Amino acid sequence: MDCIGYAEETLEKVKAKMKEVAKRNAHKVPYITTAGIYDNRDGDAISWWTNGFWGGLMWEMEKLTGDKFYADLAIELEEKLDVNLMDYEGLDHDNGFKWLLTSVYHYKKDGDMKARNRSLLAASHMAGRYNAAGRFIRAWNDHVRPDEDIRGWAIIDCMMNLPLLYWAYEETKDPRFLHIARNHADRTAECFVREDGSVCHIVEFDPFTGERVRSYGGQGFGHGSSWARGQAWAVYGFTLSYMHTGEERFLNTAKKIANYFIANTPESGLIPCDFRQPAEPDYEDTTAAAIAACGMIEISRHSEGRDKDVYLSAALKMLKAIDEKSADWDPSTDNITTKGTVAYNYGEKETGILYGDYFFIEALMKLSGSDFFQW
Ligand code: GLY
């Protein structure tokens, strides 16, 4: 079957299942499933980094079905996030994940001015985390690790949030947003990407001089390892920097990381939590596969000749592996992708994680030729 046919057929299964999932979880802020049931990150947990993805997923479904029910749920979530927007300690480098998928998309689609205001506040806060000496955007706030000095920490995940700054530049024409996003991307290419194309999760800079101090294993197996979701954030994140700036060096960096990812993809097409994890326990991570697939489809779209096929085939292989081996199509459970893993050394393993579904559906929509795009 051709790519478009495969994607369309799989999206029919998505529509059938998501109708039930959205009704059951309508007013929740889901993140992770236990035995197929989503939790709820509303209330005290409203600042959690994944809390924009339910909105993003609802907008995906609105695009796929045209049903206003989904748009109403996305906007309800966007409004709930206002509590987070007024909570300084709950804002960080992840503002993009929360407001690109909710208010920015809502503004671009409907011209809603409250949504525009939310989006510019979130972008301005994120720009304010820029460390000019080190040319990086600071990651978490002090309370996340009260016993450590994390003022100079930056993480690879931030690459996926840069489109909030690119959007703010495109919207306001104020180049501060562009300078910050581009400088962060350049510094990340310089300090996170290894010779072989693998990337570090966390890099510590001296917050006063800006010099690189060291790296940490973060959510991967250990120091010097290769956390697959981090590689995936980098593949898609550098591709997005290329798409917003047109600067070839970002596409070349994305390809270098994608080549490493492809070279380390097992024959099964199932992606491990860390490409350098031991044989046991060998946790799978469907979120990494779905995110990387989105990045590789975009790389393919922006390439010529052989590269076009190489990245598209690699993406298709991972999506089919999820569909055939690590997906749950039963409408009575909440997650589609199973086998999402939070981190190698802590957190939930091989379970449903909301953004695994979000990126899986985004990838299928890309393959089907949809122009849906939130980044
Ligand atoms: N951004 C955190 C994670 O990927 O788990």
Domain count for the chain: 1
- Phi-psi sector, 8: left (phi>0), alpha (psi -120 to 50), beta: alpha
> Which ligand 1 atom is the nearest neighbour of the CA of 219?
5
Which CATH number covers residue 279? Answer: 1.50.10.10
> Which ligand 1 atom is the nearest neighbour of the CA of 287?
4
* d(C-alpha 364, C-alpha 271), whole Å: 18
**Ligand 1: distance of its center to the CA of 287 in Å?**
10
Protein residue closest via CA to atom 1 of ligand 1: 157
* Domain contains 37: yes
Pocket residues for ligand 1 (CB within 6 Å)?
49, 157, 219, 229
pTM of the model: 0.98
**Ligand 1: distance of its center to the CA of 158 in Å?**
9
* d(C-alpha 211, C-alpha 152), whole Å: 9
Query: pLDDT (tens digit, 0 to 9) for every residue of the chain, 375 residues total?
Result: 589 999 999 999 999 999 999 999 999 999 999 999 999 999 999 999 999 999 999 999 999 999 999 999 999 999 999 999 999 999 999 999 999 999 999 999 999 999 999 999 999 999 999 999 999 999 999 999 999 999 999 999 999 999 999 999 999 999 999 999 999 999 999 999 999 999 999 999 999 999 999 999 999 999 999 999 999 999 999 999 999 999 999 999 999 999 999 999 999 999 999 999 999 999 999 999 999 999 999 999 999 999 999 999 999 999 999 999 999 999 999 999 999 999 999 999 999 999 999 999 999 999 999 999 999
> Which ligand 1 atom is the nearest neighbour of the CA of 233?
4
* Domain contains 154: yes
CA 19 to chain centre: 23
* Domain contains 375: no
* d(C-alpha 154, C-alpha 150), whole Å: 9
**Ligand 1: distance of its center to the CA of 226 in Å?**
14
> Which ligand 1 atom is the nearest neighbour of the CA of 229?
4
Tens-place pLDDT, residues 188-199: 999 999 999 999
* Domain contains 27: yes
Tens-place pLDDT, residues 98-108: 999 999 999 99
Protein residue closest via CA to atom 2 of ligand 1: 157
- Ligand 1, from 92, 97, 157, 349: best to mutate by most atoms within 8 Å of Cβ? 157
Protein residue closest via CA to atom 5 of ligand 1: 342
Range of the domain at 101: 3-368
**Ligand 1: distance of its center to the CA of 173 in Å?**
30
* Domain contains 113: yes
User: In Å, how far are 52, 57, 222, 292, 349 from 374, measured between CA atoms?
Assistant: 11, 11, 32, 16, 28
Burial of 176 (C-beta count, 10 Å sphere; 0-12/13-18/19+):
middle
| Token pair recorded at residue 144 | 């996340």
* Domain contains 374: no
> Which ligand 1 atom is the nearest neighbour of the CA of 343?
5
* Domain contains 244: yes
**Ligand 1: distance of its center to the CA of 157 in Å?**
6
**Ligand 1: distance of its center to the CA of 184 in Å?**
18
**Ligand 1: distance of its center to the CA of 177 in Å?**
23
